Amino acid sequence: MNNFLKENVKWLLTVVFSAGLLYGEIQNFRNVEERLTKKIRVISELKESINDLENRIIVLETTK
């Protein structure tokens, strides 16, 4: 076992380091996804508010 570790320590460190990088990227992707979801929700709410305001303007213009 010691001989295996001595011969392959560089590869083992590379694999561990790569796994850490991959984990960090996955966590970063999840954070980006959460932020985008929040922004999409805000945009949808604003769109509904704009549609309501447009409908009010149409009603006001037709009552003149």
Measured in whole angstroms, the distance separating CA 59 from the mean position of its chain's CA atoms is 40
Average pLDDT over residues 8-30: 91
Distance CA 54, CA 62 (A): 12
- 11-31 as b/e: b if 16+ CB within 10 A: eeeeeeeeeeeeeeeeeeeee
The 10s digit of each residue's pLDDT in 38-60 is 999 999 999 999 999 999 999 99
Structure tokens at 20: 């850490």
**What's the pTM?**
0.57
Taking the C-alpha atoms of residue 19 and residue 15, their distance in angstroms, rounded to an integer, is 6
Distance of CA 16 to the CA centre of its chain: 25
